[in-house]
């Protein structure tokens, strides 16, 4: 598919939508008069330039049961990558897994093999009995991981709230975003078209107001399809859903529920909360909610960050270099406070300074440093200032972390730090 068909408004439109996001979030949060503490928390995140953290706060609070969650899952993932790289494998039953002689199991198989009854986690010996002409390939995780990174980068063009579940699937929270006129259905279509065009495999998607239902929905029109559960359809959809589709309900629980006459989620609604807790302990509380289509778990982006920085826009421009130096200690203190809050910081490998001048031109200076201190940042400030030597409206200090190749969380965010 030609790129123009995939992006009806062009890629530039996505970038434009991004630029408006911080402002839109601000507008939403401005209405939070009932919860000033939450508003302060948001403003803290936003000021510190963490778009995903700010959005993570806004989405569940503001959109609640009207959130727009997309669950994307690739079709027969390992097998799809193998068929892409060797088209002669197409159209015939193919499985990826361990050899029968080594008591191997099937990791996955293409849909041609599924027609023979072959499936994931089945012993390869059994798979070969069901389908003697099955082609079996050993897994190549390095290649699957590369493809996975490529797909995640596509998701992150749409939202910073991307939570990968495994190499081939992820949740996306696209609540309140403007791409595709705000339609999550169109976003899912566009994302799938891009995966097909850029990665050359297919993916299916589910669109729903929460994670539970989005995941159920992505299975509904598999392969290469998508399914939407609108908020007004949730009640009826879930009522008819077999209890076995609830995550955490395995064979044992499903059988136990069926014995008590609960085959569908609708049946289960007749059970009082106390009875569910009596039967299933803590999971009973979850069941009580899930059988009503309620699931408030937020989409948690993976927090592997490439950098951390804090910045301040000054009410009055800093007139000269000395005035800039005078502000450094406060900025560094704020940076350290923020750094201390990171759950698992990786090793620092660069220090950086950002300067935006009164004429809105900006520059960054950076240098290798494993443990930057004030003199390191002060030297960078001298370097950055010397490039234009004029009053300064904004200063930022930060670090970049080592091993940036493995993640892309912040790379695609033209966030509040810009």
**Using CB under 5 A, which of 53, 112, 163, 169 touches Mg ion?**
169
> Which region, judged by CB under 6 A, interacts with ligand TTP, from 34-42, 74-82, 296-304, 340-348?
74-82
Task: Report the distance separating Cα 16 and Cα 192, nearest Å.
Answer: 21
Binding mask 94-123 for ligand TTP (x = CB under 6 A): -------------xx-----------xx--
Query: DSSP for 198-227?
Result: II-S-EEEEEESSHHHHHHHHTTT-SS-EE
β-pairing, 106-109 vs 307-318, is unpaired
Please report whether residue 164 would count as binding ligand TTP according to CB under 6 A. Answer: no
Kindly provide the residue ranges of all beta strands, DSSP E only, lying in 159-279, ordered along the sequence: 162-166, 169-173, 203-208, 226-228
Q: 44-73: which residues touch ligand TTP (CB under 6 A)? A: 73
Q: 169 catalytic, yes or no?
A: yes
How much of the chain is helix, strand and coil, in % rounded to 5? 50, 20, 35
- Rounded to a whole number of angstroms, the minimum distance from the CB of residue 286 to ligand TTP is 22
Among 209, 205, 207, which residue's Cα sits nearest to residue 225?
A: 205
Q: Show the site string, 54-93: x = touches Mg ion by CB under 5 A, - = not.
A: -------------------xx--x----------------
Residues 168-207 that bind ligand TTP (CB under 6 A): 168-169
Q: In whole angstroms, what is the distance from residue 324 CA to residue 321 CA?
A: 5
Closer residue to Mg ion in complex, CB, 205/409: 205
**82: contact with ligand TTP by CB under 6 A:** no
Options 45, 82, 112, 169, the catalytic residue: 169
Q: Please give the Cα distance from 87 to 80 (Å, whole number).
A: 10
| C-alpha span between 117 and 382 (Å, rounded) | 68
Q: DSSP letter for 105, please.
A: B
Contact flag: residue 78 with ligand TTP (CB under 6 A): yes
280 binds ligand TTP (CB under 6 A): no
Q: How far apart are CA 418 and CA 49, in angstroms?
A: 8
Smaller CB separation from ligand TTP, 38 or 100: 100
Window 212-231: residues binding ligand TTP (CB under 6 A)? 222-223
Q: Tell me which stretch binds ligand TTP (CB under 6 A): 30-38, 161-169, 296-304, 353-361.
A: 161-169
| Cis peptide leading into residue 348 (ω within 30°) | no
Give the binding site for Mg ion (CB under 5 A): 73-74, 77, 168-169
Footprint of ligand TTP (CB under 6 A): 73-78, 107-108, 120-121, 166, 168-169, 222-223
Return the active site residues: 169
């Amino acid at each position: 598919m030609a790129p123009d068909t995939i992006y009806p408004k062009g890629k530039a439109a996505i970038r434009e939508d991004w630029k408006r996001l911080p402002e839109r979030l601000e507008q939403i949060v401005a209405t939070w008069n009932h919860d000033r503490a939450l508003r302060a928390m948001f403003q803290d995140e936003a000021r510190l330039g963490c778009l995903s953290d700010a959005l993570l706060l806004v989405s569940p609070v503001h959109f609640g049961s009207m959130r727009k969650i997309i669950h994307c899952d690739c079709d027969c993932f390992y097998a799809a990558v193998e068929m892409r790289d060797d088209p002669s494998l197409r159209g015939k039953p193919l499985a990826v897994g361990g050899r029968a002689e080594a008591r191997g199991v099937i990791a996955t198989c293409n849909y041609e093999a599924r027609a023979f009854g072959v499936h994931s986690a089945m012993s390869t010996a059994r798979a070969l009995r069901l389908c003697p002409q099955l082609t079996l390939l050993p897994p190549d995780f390095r290649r699957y991981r590369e493809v996975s990174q490529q797909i995640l980068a596509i998701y992150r063009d749409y939202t910073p709230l991307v939570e990968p579940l495994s190499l081939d699937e992820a949740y996306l929270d696209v609540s309140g975003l403007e791409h595709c006129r705000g339609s999550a259905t169109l976003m899912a279509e566009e994302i799938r078209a891009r995966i097909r065009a850029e990665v050359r495999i297919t993916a299916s998607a589910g669109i729903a107001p929460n994670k539970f239902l989005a995941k159920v929905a992505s299975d509904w029109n598999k392969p290469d399809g998508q399914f939407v559960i609108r908020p007004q359809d949730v009640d009826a959809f879930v009522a008819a859903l077999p209890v076995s589709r609830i995550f955490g309900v395995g064979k044992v629980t499903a059988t136990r529920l069926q014995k008590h006459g609960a085959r569908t989620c609708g049946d289960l609604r007749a059970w009082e909360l106390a009875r569910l807790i009596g039967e299933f302990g803590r999971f009973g509380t979850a069941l009580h909610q899930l059988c009503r289509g309620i699931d408030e778990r937020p989409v948690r982006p993976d927090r592997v960050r490439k950098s951390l920085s804090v910045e301040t826009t000054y009410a009055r421009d800093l007139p000269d270099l000395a005035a800039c130096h005078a502000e450094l200690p406060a900025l560094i203190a704020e940076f350290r406070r923020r750094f201390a809050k990171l759950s698992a910081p990786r090793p620092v490998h660069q220090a950086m300074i950002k300067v935006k001048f009164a004429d809105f031109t900006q520059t960054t200076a950076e240098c290798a440093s494993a443990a930057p201190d004030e003199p390191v940042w002060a030297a960078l400030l001298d370097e950055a200032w010397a490039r234009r030597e004029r009053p300064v409206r904004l200063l930022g200090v930060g670090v970049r972390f080592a091993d940036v190749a493995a993640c892309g969380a912040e790379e695609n965010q033209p966030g509040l730090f810009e």
